[in-house]
Amino acid sequence: MKSVYEKEEAYWNGMFDSDDSMSILPYCSTHGREANADTNAAKVSMIRALPTDLSDRMNTLANGSDIALYMIGLAGATCLLHHYTNRENVLVGMPTIDESDDDSSPRDVLIMKTNLTRGSSFRSVLGSIKTAVGGAVEHRHLPFRKMVHNLNLEMDTNGLPVMNTVVSYSAIHTASIDLSVSSDVMFRFDAKDDGLHLEVLYDESRYDASYIATLFEHFFPTASFCVIPAGPAYRQCRVIVRR
């Protein structure tokens, strides 16, 4: 008898390679405190408003679609992680958009995998993310342990999957995931009256505030360079981070 999840199993089995792992921003802390690897530690928050031209352009590209706006932000975060990790496969956690399930299992968060190289255009990255998000949501019904069967995914001592980096958008991800996953960093986009904001929640035993502030300094020009038109070069935009 074939599994009722045959289609979902085939999708997730083909998604991850044996050498895949969750993307991690390099740890950078001078606190002298020992990082807590056993629990989902409380996070410290740092919030910045996106530059007006970047916020306006992202909203224009999204054309009123919350999921499109999320994917644009996710693309920017993915490019940033690619630069910091120097890995072609970027894997991050995404809270599920459909909250109709009563199940409170770790399936509340799905894993997005995007492949990119230094020569990848922002358009190609965004297209890959659109495909990944659509596929993950469509095949979200599989039990979580089977989703990640081929992925080298760690569990903390509370039995929660460790998704080191999670990206969310407040307009579509309204439920708390604190009891579903353990993470080091969460990028959370939010729409306010004065434009888009980015909140980074981080484990201060692993990261200094100055390091997180530098993330913003790198994210803003990278996203701006890619989504704000600047003549013919816009269509050939490459993934870069200016140091």
Whole-angstrom distance, CA of residue 77 vs CA of residue 144: 24
| Banded model confidence at residue 153, pLDDT cuts 50, 70, 90 | confident
Reported as a single tens digit per residue, the pLDDT across 116-140 is 877 777 788 888 999 999 999 889 8
Q: Read off the pTM.
A: 0.85
Q: Give 175's DSSP letter.
A: S
Asked if pLDDT for residue 51 goes beyond 50, the answer is: yes
Strand 89-95 versus strand 44-49 pairing type: unpaired
Whole-angstrom distance, CA of residue 63 vs CA of residue 69: 8
Q: Which domains does the chain have, with CATH numbers?
A: 15-26+43-236 (3.30.559.30)
Model pLDDT, residue 70: 95
Model pLDDT, residue 179: 76
H or E element: which one contains 9? Answer: helix 6-13
Q: Give 170's DSSP letter.
A: T
Backbone φ, ψ for residue 201 (5° rounding) = -100, 130
Mean pLDDT of the 198-206 span: 93
Whole-angstrom distance, CA of residue 243 vs CA of residue 241: 6
Cβ proximity of 131 and 142 under 8 Å: no
